[in-house]
A and B are shown apart, each in its own frame.
Chain A
């Protein structure tokens, strides 16, 4: 269904192929199937997929750069958690996926995430590609107009950090309201347990 959705949405051919090849039909019982294949654009303009990150634990968080309150708090918490983990942080790649692809170009995303921690990867993509990956991660987002100009809007969005293992499988989630200490402790526990 996800694969068909990607095709129907006219996502990039490569994305559709990846989806068709690696994503089993989730069916109606796959309530816990979180995450999946994606094809998005990194800050340097290069195409990356979920497979580009194999071997790393991922922290996947969705937000947008226009967000002045919640997103900077969360990204800073992630950066602090990485700092607390020391060398263990080398095993982790935090990914910030925009839910506002219209405004968040690869360049905007790259500059934004670097302000928090150079290890955070900012990803954007076509509106279809973003819709697809958000659906896979069960992330809700919606444009919320705030003025007369088409540029006057904010995004309502789920604020959850997903932890994916080095095989790209969903492990657990942490509320974006958790403090860096708690986040670091949880990651340390997961990573040391698995190695």
Chain B
């Protein structure tokens, strides 16, 4: 298992406790409070027709929830994917949903889970932002603003530096 995939697995089982900073909350009091932190995407290289979006999701509520769908106006197709390193062979596997247990967080980051955006309406440029709606089984749709970072950005994977930058919102 590689260090990156290991980090993802660890992140998925980490209990909640360190989460702070502005984030999106599901507003329905009856549903688990899902927080989406630091949603970001890489700028697309010229000629690329696909992109990946990343974020950290935290379930602050008392019950498990599950991310089941993603959509955004900037891409015709938005799917949950996971990059798997199978003995040096990189595979991107579609994921039907991502479970988020009570108190758990899931980290989408380069080399692991990501939202695969294909058939982009136009290239993603640094400094732009776009809406993306994450639909949870219980919390329902949560729309966040995804910031486009430079092509080589590693986002949260490099040290949680965006947490205080805001940029998320709820509907």
Contact = CB atoms under 8 A, between A and B. Distances in A.
A108 interface: yes
Interface of A: 65-70, 72-73, 76-77, 79-80, 107-116, 140, 144, 146-147, 154, 156-160, 175-177
Nearest to A117: B152
A146 to B, nearest CB: 7
Bin the interface of chain B by size.
20 to 34
Contacts of A79: 152
B111 A157 contact: no
B89 A68 contact: no
Interface string B83-95: 1011011111010
Given A115-B45, A144-B91, A68 B111 contact: no
Contacts of A113: 45
B48 A70 contact: no
Contact of A68 (B46, B88, B114): B114
Given A158-B89, A160-B88, 4 more contacts: A65-B48, A68-B52, A112-B46, A115-B46
Nearest to A108: B47
B152 A70 contact: no
B89 A140 contact: yes
Given A68-B48, A69-B114, A115 B85 contact: no
